[in-house]
Amino acid sequence: MTDVLVIARLALQEAVRRRVLTVVGMLTLLSGGLYLAGCISLKHHVGGLLETPAIKPIVPATLLGLASFTTLFLGSVLSVFLTAGAVRGDVDRGLVQPLVVRPVGRNSYLGGRALAAAVVSCSYVLLVSVFATALTRLMFHNLPPSAWQVIPRLVTGVLVVTALTLLVSCLFSTVATGVSVLMAYGAGLVAGLLGEIGKSFGAHTLTRIAEAVSWALPFEAMYRDALQKLSPSGPLGQLVQLGPLGGANGGGPGLWLFTAAYIIGCGLLASWRFGRADL
Amino acid sequence: MSTPTEPILAARGLTKSYRTTVALRGVDIHVSAGEVVGLLGPNGAGKSTLTKLLCGLVRGDGGTATIAGAAAGSTPARGKVGYLAELFRFPGWATAAEVLATHQRLGHRPVTDPAAERAALLAEVGLSNAAATRVEAMSKGMQQRLGLAQALVGAPEVLLLDEPTSALDPAGRHTVREVLARARDRGTAVLLNTHLLGEVELLADRVVLIDAGRVVAQGTVAELTAVHGVTVETDQGRVEHPDISRDEIPGLVKRLVREGRSVYSVEPHRSTLEDLYLELVGDRETQR
């Protein structure tokens, strides 16, 4: 375990020294400011409508849906950038060899890199989500009943992206890993939207494709499950479900088990692949 | 120089292929404590593969290799090895002291005073003033010296060095030779993979010449560069005797004197490592 912490510390030190965390922090403050400005402006313009019972739950739900999309996306980008070069990329650069020749074990190396990326990206998602939810509550004195349940789903979604990136980084160089994971991320979101369109128009093929993609890329399923927690009941709630943020869809308890297995599976595959690689 | 003892590094019949390319075809090699073995051969001969296999970076296909009794590449074996890769890099943002500190932590060896060990290692490779210098601010030569210091962390019993002098100027090479000589005197077994025949002649106790994945010659520098032939200058002129060995020279001189020749000079033909290398390996680069 000590070796894992040493490797994780090394990766975190790099993020600090390379000012990754500073830049992320500053830009997050900026986007937080934008969110605050949006909330203030919306409150000013919508005004009395916010007191209408049918409208009241829609506004914070929509805002939090937007915040969830952005947070998951930025958290995933952060995770991909921190992890894309973890294995093949750093092997190609000659950074890994001096470390794994020590009695460290390749699994400890992988664990350290995964831990560092997970700590940074999950903390980011956690902090930004808590901030957005608290700010929304403060501004509109109202939240969807399950709003706080969105946060663990987003954090888990980013964890899935981290595990997937680590696995792909065992196969491809840094750029190829980054591109392929971000494209998979985009494909997941598109599939979610297509599934929602399929549901609306009764196109079962689309819904089946979306379902399959959600299983293959469970961060998408987690995101849709998170949106489900935000979706207000009633006909106006459809606005959130059909909005540009992807379709809400409850995953059920099986989703958590499957996602845990998926993350562990990615880790085991990465360990198997890295353990047999000639460096 | 200490006397070499039982091999601490022993490999027999090592084989390794990368898909269709055969890198090692049954290599036997051994290095004893307090011995420097120079590993020579052309590019692509299998030297780096052999070094990587011994430190666990590459998985062998066949044969056995042990380091201090443990299977090469295993955790206990890696705990006894210091390794300098041919192509390596340290994080550019880290200072020299931080690089060494990381390797101390990962070395699993108790060190009484880690800071003192770091300072001593940096002094040994001539980087005393660079402890707080970031790697990205170092020249290639300084990074190479830092790489050597990293390999020496924890006083390993076996040093596997892949082209340790490749980026160094003559002063740097001299420093490396001194460092390796001191390591040998401390009882460290050193496998030195290099293209520089002069380095090997100056430093190595034994030489292993490898080509196309096979050991084609091995022995001490003296053995490999033994006298083959002699040129004798007499009152009848200079005559070459190409098949005469070192032990046969006195007999030849006696015979010439008995025959009434006046012998003015005797010049033994001593081949160099370069002669041997070119004879056994040739210009393999252009033949590939």
pLDDT average, residue stretch A143-148: 86
Could you read off the pLDDT of B81-137 as tens digits, one per residue?
Answer: 999 998 899 999 999 999 999 999 998 888 889 999 999 999 999 999 999 999 999
Q: Which residues on neighbouring strands pair with residue B153, listed in sequence order? A: none
What does the DSSP assignment read for A221-270? HHHHHHHHHHPPSSTTHHHHHTSTT-------HHHHHHHHHHHHHHHHHH
Total residues found in chain B within this entry: 288
Beta-carbon neighbour count of residue B159 at 10 Å? Answer: 25
A6/B102 Cβ within 8 A: yes
Say yes or no to pLDDT of B288 above 70: no
pLDDT score at A202: 85
Beta strands in B101-245 (DSSP E): 158-162, 189-193, 206-211, 214-219, 227-234, 237-245
Residue B206's pLDDT band, with cuts at 50, 70 and 90, is: very high
Supply angle C-alpha B114, B120, B125, rounded to 5.
Answer: 130
Residue A100 with chain B: CB contacts under 8 Å? 56-57
Q: Are A198 and A210 in contact (CB under 8 A)?
A: yes
Distance from CA of B73 to the nearest CA of A (A): 8
Quote the Cα angle for B151-B92-B148, to 5°: 15
Confidence of residue A81 (pLDDT cuts 50, 70, 90): very high
Position B204 pLDDT exceeds 50: yes
Evaluate whether A146 touches A64 at the Cβ level (below 8 Å): no
Pairwise pLDDT comparison (A200 vs A16), residue with the higher score = A16
- Residue B1 banded pLDDT, cuts 50, 70, 90: very low
Per-residue pLDDT at A190 exceeds 90: no
B2 — pLDDT class (breaks 50, 70, 90): very low
Q: What is the pLDDT of residue B199?
A: 84
Whether the pLDDT of residue A176 is over 60: the answer is: yes
φ, ψ of residue B20 to 5 degrees: the values are -95, -5
Handedness of CA A139, A140, A144, A146 (dihedral sign): positive
Averaged pLDDT for residues A179-206: 87
Out of A68-72, A82-86, A239-243, B20-24, pick the least confident: A239-243
**Mean pLDDT over residues A21-46, rounded?**
88
Q: What is the largest CA-CA distance in chain B?
A: 77
> What pLDDT digit, counting tens, does each position of B40-60 carry?
998 889 999 999 999 999 999
pTM for the model stands at 0.83
Q: Residue A242 has what pLDDT?
A: 45
Mean pLDDT of chain A: 88
Could you tell me which residue, A141 or B104, shows the higher pLDDT?
Answer: B104
- Amino acid of residue B46: G
Interface with B, mutate which of A13, A97, A174, A274 (most B CBs under 10 A): A97
Is a pLDDT exceeding 90 seen at residue B283?
A: no
pLDDT of residue B22: 93
Residue A112 has pLDDT above 90, yes or no: yes
Q: Are A98 and B88 in contact (CB under 8 A)?
A: yes
Residues paired with residue B265 on neighbouring β-strands, in sequence order: B233
Which residues in chain A are closer than 8 Å to B94, comparing Cβ atoms? 13, 17
CB-CB neighbors (< 8 A) of A10 in chain B: 91, 102
Which residue did the predictor score with more confidence, B282 or B23? B23
Residues of chain B in contact with residue A105, where contact means CB-CB under 8 angstroms, are 75
The answer, yes or no, to whether residue B73 has pLDDT greater than 70, is yes
